[in-house]
A and B are shown apart, each in its own frame.
Chain A
Amino acid sequence: QSVLTQPPSVSGAPGQRVTISCTGSSSNIGATYAVHWYQQLPGTAPKLLIYGNRNRPSGVPDRFSGSKSGTSASLAITGLQAEDEADYYCQSYDSSLSAWVFGGGTKLTVL
């Protein structure tokens, strides 16, 4: 069981907006540690999507945005496209474990 909790799956039609939640605790997200998001397309390595809660690396479309509040964080994807179909993971640091931790992953299906 992952330290960070994500919904196993979300779906949306092309053009729609979807959000993926990432829930932690007072020893990770709630302790002001940053949340980062990764996109993993089928059969490929994870790719950084959002870092430092809300920052996009160069080349990531502004359709992707991140936010954080309290012990949770969210990834929002607007204008959903077929190419967005992938697994998404959140990541943070846990001070109780002294470990970098990942969420269980969310599979996004574009209907």
Chain B
Amino acid sequence: QITLKESGPTLVKPTQTLTLTCSFSGFSLSTSGVAVGWIRQPPGKALEWLALIYWDDDKRYSPSLKRRLTITKDTSKNQVVLTMTNLDPVDTATYYCAHLPAADTGWNWFDPWGQGTLVIVSS
């Protein structure tokens, strides 16, 4: 059974850097084709893909947020870390990490998802 859980601060001040950790079990991020992605959802709004890291350390970022995001993995700890710089109140959202089964690029889907962690950006 694959499970993922996000952790990180609930409250962050504007201009600060956010670091979120996705801890997972039930799969290995060294398995060919597998990936872990981050998605966020502002309160009452739609889902937005942020970043993704593949088993071979290939990293992909949302074009609109690319300059502010860094995604890394620690295969031995079964963790993926997302950092976002220069936080703004509009970054207030629930942040999810999700597993992507092996598939051709463009055919990937997110399953399962973690429970999400709410991040509030406010002074």
Contact = CB atoms under 8 A, between A and B. Distances in A.
Q: Quick one: which of A33, A38, A91, A99 has the most chain B CB within 10 A?
A: A99
A48 B115 CA distance: 14
Interface string B52-71: 10000000101100000000
Contacts of B105: 93
Contact of B113 (A46, A52, A95): A46
Interface string A37-63: 010000011111001100001000000
B111 A51 contact: yes
A103 B46 contact: yes
> Do most interface residues of chain B lie in helix, strand or loop, or is the interface mixed?
loop
B106 interface: yes
Interface in B39-98: 39, 46-49, 52, 60, 62-63, 96
B46 A102 contact: yes
Given A45-B96, A45-B114, A99-B63, A89 B107 contact: no
Interface residues on A, range: 20 to 34
Given A45-B116, A46-B47, A93 B111 contact: no
Contacts of A98: 60, 63
Interface in A58-97: 89, 91-93, 95, 97
Nearest to A48: B111
Contacts of A46: 47, 96, 110, 113
Given A89-B46, A98-B63, A99-B49, 17 more contacts: A2-B46, A33-B106, A34-B107, A38-B110, A45-B113, A45-B114, A46-B47, A48-B109, A51-B109, A93-B107, A98-B60, A99-B60, A102-B39, A102-B46, A102-B49, A103-B46, A105-B46
Interface of A: 2, 31, 33-34, 36, 38, 44-48, 51-52, 57, 89, 91-93, 95, 97-105
Interface of B: 37, 39, 46-49, 52, 60, 62-63, 96, 105-116
